[in-house]
C-alpha cells in the first residue's frame, strides 16, 4: 500500500535528481574569446564580441571561420566530410569545432574562474 509519505519521498527524489542534472547546464557561461589552433599551435585569439571573418590557408587547406553576434562557426572548409561546417554555431565556454583533416580547432574561452571538472 502506498502511503502519503512514500509519494512525498518520491517527489523529493525526482526534484533533487532534476536539480543535479540541470544545475551544470545553468552554470555554463557565454565565452569572451575564440582561440584558433592549427597543427597544435595557436593561430590566434579573437574577441567573440567583434564580428569578423578569419581565413586560414595552410598546407594546401583552407578554412573560413565567421565570428558574428557573439557566436562562431566554420563557414567553409576544404575537407571532404564537412563535419566542422555542419557543426553550427558555438558560444559557450568550452565549446569547440574541430576540423580533423585540416587540423584546425576553434575553441570558446572565457574569463570565468569556474572549475569544469574535478577528479579524484
Domains annotated for the chain, with CATH where assigned, are 33-109 (2.60.320.10)
- DSSP-derived letter for residue 81 is S
Identify the CA nearest to 48 among candidates 96, 98, 108: 108
pLDDT tens-digit map of 25-75: 555 677 899 999 999 999 999 999 999 999 999 989 999 999 999 999 999
Whether pTM > 0.95 for this model: the answer is no
Residue 73: CA count within 13 A, CB half-sphere: 13
- Grid cell, residue 25, equals 547546464
Amino acid at each position: 500500500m502506498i502511503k502519503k509519505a512514500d509519494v512525498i519521498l518520491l517527489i523529493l527524489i525526482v526534484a533533487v535528481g532534476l536539480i543535479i542534472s540541470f544545475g551544470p547546464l545553468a552554470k555554463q557561461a557565454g565565452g569572451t574569446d575564440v582561440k584558433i589552433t592549427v597543427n597544435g599551435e595557436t593561430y590566434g585569439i579573437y574577441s567573440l564580441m567583434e564580428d569578423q571573418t578569419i581565413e586560414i590557408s595552410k598546407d594546401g587547406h583552407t578554412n573560413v571561420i565567421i565570428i558574428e553576434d557573439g557566436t562562431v562557426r566554420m563557414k567553409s572548409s576544404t575537407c571532404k566530410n564537412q563535419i566542422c561546417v555542419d557543426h553550427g554555431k558555438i558560444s559557450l565556454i568550452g565549446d569547440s569545432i574541430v576540423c580533423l583533416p585540416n587540423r584546425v580547432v576553434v575553441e570558446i574561452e572565457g574569463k570565468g574562474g569556474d572549475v569544469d571538472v574535478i577528479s579524484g
